[in-house]
């Protein structure tokens, strides 16, 4: 009886050891990328894809100041660059997935894509959605309104990422996130703004489009319309 117990114990320890070694191998090997290692891996193919757009703009490379602009109703995201004090459109990417409704994000789990003026926090080369870039939601405006409303959990972890699934993030597919990840990585020394609008139609009544309507929506949309005017 004791011998059987010892044999089963040894077998269990052996199985655990094999499992642990396999886990370590796959968890480190598959999730050990750095921003620089990813950039090195994708640089050749990405630059080839961007060359056509650079030639169209008569540019050798993108300027250091760039801007990402998303439109929820049109389900698209633009890459813009600053030239002569204007934000010129470089390339537009369709969203590959969409969640939530028109209107701002209010709480964790509401599946809403935020609306507002944000910036890139950091690049994630080990994302479950291939590659991703974190947006600084909730920003100061969001936190202030959440405090006023008495909302304790306004949500977090909003990304621009690859693949075609969204639960509040901006999904743009793998080729598109490669391009933006590469471009943003080369300009990490600068703040990279991300503006998310309910619609690109500045003449539309955004309040009527919105299905999520907190009391401070007019204040948010007035700020966003001013930013949208600066793009036109």
What is the domain-level CATH number for residue 149? 2.40.440.10
pTM (two decimals): 0.86
Q: In this structure, are 18 and 90 located in the same domain?
A: no
Which of 66 and 22 is assigned the larger pLDDT? 66
* Number of domains observed in the structure of the chain: 2
- What dihedral do alpha carbons 162, 164, 166, 169 form, nearest 10°? 30
Q: What's the domain range around 23?
A: 1-32
Q: In this structure, are 3 and 110 located in the same domain?
A: no
- Report the sign of the C-alpha dihedral through residues 32, 36, 41, 45, in that order: positive
Which of 19 and 6 is assigned the larger pLDDT? 6
Note the pLDDT of residue 232: 85
Q: In this structure, are 46 and 26 located in the same domain?
A: no
Asked whether the predicted pLDDT for residue 177 surpasses 70, the reply is: yes
Q: In this structure, are 206 and 131 located in the same domain?
A: yes
Q: In this structure, are 110 and 8 located in the same domain?
A: no
Q: In this structure, are 41 and 121 located in the same domain?
A: yes
Asked whether the predicted pLDDT for residue 10 surpasses 80, the reply is: no
Percent of the chain exceeding pLDDT 70 equals 87
Q: In this structure, are 71 and 59 located in the same domain?
A: yes
Q: In this structure, are 52 and 104 located in the same domain?
A: yes
Asked whether the predicted pLDDT for residue 183 surpasses 80, the reply is: yes
Q: In this structure, are 91 and 190 located in the same domain?
A: yes
Residues 150-160: tens digit of each pLDDT: 999 999 999 99
Beta bridge pairs of residue 45: none
Q: In this structure, are 67 and 87 located in the same domain?
A: yes
The chain-wide mean pLDDT, for the chain, equals: 90
Residues 160-169: tens digit of each pLDDT: 999 999 999 9
Closest alpha carbon to 117 in 27, 227, 232: 227
Residues 118-156: tens digit of each pLDDT: 999 999 999 999 999 999 999 999 999 999 999 999 999
Q: In this structure, are 132 and 114 located in the same domain?
A: yes
Closest alpha carbon to 68 in 145, 154, 153, 172: 172
What is the number of helices (H) and of strands (E) in the chain?
6, 8
Distance CA 126, CA 31 (A): 5
Asked whether the predicted pLDDT for residue 5 surpasses 80, the reply is: no
| Confidence band for 85, pLDDT divided at 50, 70 and 90 | very high
Q: In this structure, are 49 and 87 located in the same domain?
A: yes
Asked whether the predicted pLDDT for residue 179 surpasses 80, the reply is: yes
């Amino acid at each position: 009886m004791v011998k059987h117990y010892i044999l089963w114990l040894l077998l269990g320890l052996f199985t655990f050891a094999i499992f642990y070694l396999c886990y370590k191998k796959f968890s480190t090997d598959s999730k050990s990328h750095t921003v620089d290692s990813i950039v090195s891996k994708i640089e050749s193919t990405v630059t080839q894809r961007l060359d056509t757009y650079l030639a169209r703009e008569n540019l050798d490379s993108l300027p250091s100041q760039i801007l990402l602009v998303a439109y929820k109703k049109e389900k698209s995201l633009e890459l813009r660059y600053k030239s002569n004090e204007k934000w010129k459109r470089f390339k537009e990417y369709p969203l590959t997935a969409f969640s939530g409704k028109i209107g701002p994000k209010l709480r964790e789990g509401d599946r809403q894509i935020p609306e507002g003026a944000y910036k890139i926090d950091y690049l994630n080369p080990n994302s479950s959605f291939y590659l991703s870039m974190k947006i600084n939601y909730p920003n100061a405006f969001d936190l202030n309104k959440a405090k006023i409303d008495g909302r304790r959990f306004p949500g977090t972890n909003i990304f621009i990422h690859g693949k075609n699934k969204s639960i509040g993030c901006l999904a743009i597919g793998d080729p598109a996130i490669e391009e933006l990840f590469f471009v943003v990585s080369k300009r990490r020394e600068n703040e990279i703004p991300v503006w998310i609008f309910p619609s690109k139609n500045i003449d539309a009544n955004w309040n009527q489009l919105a299905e999520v309507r907190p009391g401070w929506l007019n204040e948010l949309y007035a700020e966003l319309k001013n930013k949208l005017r600066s793009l036109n």
